Amino acid sequence: MALRKDHELHKRRFGRNMGVGLLLAGFVVLVMVLTIVKVSQPGFQLPQVEAGQN
């Protein structure tokens, strides 16, 4: 139980932070899905490294 009521500003800030967090999580999921789809394609090959290069 809170000793004081939260100010209205804190409620708005929490809502905005929640929205930004959900957008960030959605972006991370999108990047992961696109990476998995690209890697799982049959034509995907890792780049070949030549022996003489550093």
The C-alpha atoms of residue 23 and residue 54 are separated, in whole angstroms, by: 40
Report the SS3 class of residue 20: helix
Tell me what pLDDT residue 39 has: 87
The predicted pLDDT at position 43 comes to: 83
Tokens of 41: 């394609």
> Which DSSP symbol is given to 45?
-
Q: What is the pLDDT of residue 12?
A: 86
> DSSP letters of 24-38?
HHHHHHHHHHHHHHH
pTM of the model: 0.64
Q: What are phi and psi of 48, to 5 degrees?
A: -85, 130
Q: What is the residue-level pLDDT of the chain in tens, covering all 54 positions? A: 567 777 888 888 999 999 999 999 999 999 999 999 988 888 878 778 876 655
From the centroid of its chain, how far is CA 2?
A: 33
